[in-house]
Amino acid sequence: MDSALIPEGVKRCPLWKFALGIIIVGVVLLWGVYAMFLCWFKGLNQTNMNDAYGFAIWIWADLAVIALGGGAFFTGFLRYIVGKDELKNIINCTIVIGFICYSSALLILAIDIGQPLRGWFIFWHANVHSMLTEVAFCLSCYFAVLTIEYLPLILENRQTDKIPFFHNLSHNLHEVMAVFAATGAFLSFFHQGSLGGVAGVLFGRPFAFREGVLIWPWTFFLFTWSAAAYGPCFSLLVTRIIEKITKKQLVKQNVIELLAKISGWMIATYIVAKIIDTWYWAAVTAPSNGFTLLDFYSGNALYGIWILVLEIVICGIVPACILITEKGRKNKLAFTTAIILGVVGVSLNRWVMVLQVMAVPVLPFESWNLYYPSWQEVATTVLPVAYGIILIMISYRYLPIFPQEKELNPIES
């Protein structure tokens, strides 16, 4: 029924199967939308946040999706600026993922603020000293860039491509895409960094605070670095999941391995920097404020030293070792394990830099604050996931996301 919209030379599942999938995920989406409206109309009392836990699961989700969406800017940077031409075969997928992640991040922010109708104050009454102002400006601008990058992909749909104006527009956009990729990389450097700066500048919170260079704390650079390192892992993981579901190879192995290798080296260098940062923080910064490393990882039911080991060793050193070796990249199980660990690692880092920051007591006569989200918070956090799945399903079905699909899966006539 919708065959006229499906790209030429590729096979898709029957419409009923596709529609059923959309409906199932759509129910989850509606659940999230319901919770979102509850938060908007009844206020943030629908959450389990409190005055000690002003930043909670949403801000973690926000930071995590932005880091995971980092594959878009970094792959664009590698493809258009560095000149890794093979990556043109996966870049469309990273752009769709980036678009989903960034639109989700903006939606989450719109739910998270207490007075959503005043959200524009961040631009109008901007405080140039605030990292959050930098986040808002760069995030909005980069989302606009991602929309421009996504647009030619939409215009390449079989039906829109037939219209000469759209065909030419799409062609011309492709021609100037390097400019947008460079702009995206520049903007991403700043907003990924400023998200790191959000925690790093908190000199009243010794767990988060880091020294740095000029106005930027070290977390500024670590966040950009980690997004560039781990973002491609998420792009590769999503590609793998789509391949599993469709039971097709969609991207050639050499492309996957190239991106994985670059990601591996980025993780390896990042984790060295992270270890140095952690050591300096534990040995110099925290003690100067009267804290030892173990003060941050003891005296509560959740945050033990295991979280540091999990983040740095298991989700940092291990995936780096796998991805930088050819043997590791070629072994399917090891490869899949590495990219999953990478995704967990960067998400865990963002968790620590948001939720653990709130949990650690600063006043000597206060104790740890532990928090669990309300169902409304869970539903609104799941909402972007459902939205992302639906957008990927639609994009995969109707748009030429994977240019090598036709060649790798010829249709027998």
Partner 1 sequence: MNKEHKDTKTKKFGMVIDLDLCTGCGACMVACMAENNVPFKEDESNKLDSITWMRVYKLTNGKSFPDTDICYIPRPCQHCGGIGDHGHSPCVSVCPATATDYDHETGIVSQIYTRCFGCRYCMAACPYHARYFNWWDPVWPGDMKESLSPNVSPRMRGVVEKCSFCFHRYQQAKDRAYANGRREIEENEYQTACTQACPAGAITFGDLNNPEHQVHKLVNPDPKHCGRPKNPKAFRLLERLQTNPKVYYISSREWVRRAGDNYIKNESKQIA
> Which positions lie near partner 1, rule CB under 8 A?
43-45, 49-55, 112-116, 118-119, 121-122, 124-127, 129-133, 136, 198, 201-206, 287-292, 295, 357-358, 362-366, 369
Cα–Cα dist 181/91, whole Å: 11
- CB-nearer residue toward partner 1: 164 or 364: 364
| CA distance linking residue 30 with residue 128, whole number of Å | 38
Q: Which is nearer to partner 1, 358 or 379 (CB)?
A: 358
What is the nearest approach in angstroms of partner 1 to the Cβ of residue 133?
4
Minimum Å gap between C-beta 218 and partner 1 is 17
Query: Considering only CA atoms, which of 74, 78, 97, 94 is closest in space to residue 86?
Result: 78
**Which of 44, 401 has the CB closer to partner 1?**
44
Q: Whose Cβ is closer to partner 1: residue 46's or residue 395's?
A: 46
